[in-house]
Amino acid sequence: MGEIYDRMVGDLKLKNYATSTQKNYLLYARCFVRHHMRSPAEMGEREIRDYLLSLALRQVSPAVLKMHVASLRFLYAVTLRRPEEVAWLDWPRVPRRLPDILSRDEVEALLSAVEPLLHRAIIMTAYGAGLRISEACKLQATDIDGKRGLIHVRDGKRGRDRYVMLSPRLLACLREYHRQTRPPGPYVFPGQKQGRPITPGPVGDAFKKALKQAGIRKRLTMHALRHAFATHLLEAGTDIRVIQVLLGHGCIKTTAHYAHVSARHIASVESPLDRPPPEAVPHTRRR
């Protein structure tokens, strides 16, 4: 893509997109170019449609197809300044499937099975504070406020900061972790490279291993800890708007999805079948 690629890199940085989003947009733009073996400046609506149709015929997942669409929309509307080429392009429908949710007992079994202490502390932090795994990995020592019982989550999704609770149990775990490992800082969970945080990859491997050791057969990723955090708070009676703030959701509709996966809430709803029929109202004749 040459010069166009460099311009797209700059445009993504100017828009302050997340690093992972920038990488994905650039990757899928290169895939589009390789498919046609032509510069995007020489192509337009027809080539975009043909390429997306080829992806659909290959039966790529709706989520991946959506990322291709997002990349091409950015390439043509922002970098090439030809929005008319993608004006017709709608977002593909992505089925919304309910995730498997860890029960509280399963969470305890999982935490007991995680080794070493470094990974257990990260996974406990992710569940105990409802953090994304990337947020947990990037925590710095100055973000932990033991006196006030708060964690300052910096630069979350879409650049949002927020505060979440720091439970006494999590604080005790972090103190024991610090006592045993003495991390050099500034990150609570340092990686192999000096001055850099741990990456999510090794933590995800430890998570999968712990699932197997705990005998949990649900198909889960690290994000399941965040789902469990929200669902367990909802089942405990926490107001859904408080959960929205803790999760850092910009829209209450996103948080409301957890009401769909709370088995306890669903099971507690009384079916209309179990309600007694209304009493018959006697009919009086008019005189």
pTM (2 decimals)? 0.74
**1 pLDDT above the threshold of 90:** no
Give the model confidence (pLDDT) of 94-149 as tens digits: 887 778 889 999 999 999 999 999 999 999 999 999 999 999 999 999 999 999 99
7 is catalytic: no
**pLDDT classification of 261: cutoffs 50, 70, 90:** low
Q: Helix 45-57 vs helix 62-74: angle between axes, to the nearest 10 degrees? A: 170
Q: Specify whether 223 is catalytic.
A: yes
Nearest-angstrom CA–CA distance, 7 and 242: 41
Catalytic one of 120, 138, 226, 232: 226
Q: What 8-state DSSP symbol labels residue 81?
A: -
Is the pLDDT confidence value at 70 over 70? yes
User: Out of 33-42, 61-70, 232-241, which region has the weakest mean confidence (pLDDT)?
Assistant: 232-241
Helix (H, G, I), strand (E, B) or coil at 249: coil
Answer yes or no: 249 catalytic: yes
CA-wise closest residue to 123 among 202, 179, 184: 202
Domains of the chain: 3-85 (1.10.150.130), 104-268 (1.10.443.10)
Q: Is 258 a catalytic residue?
A: yes
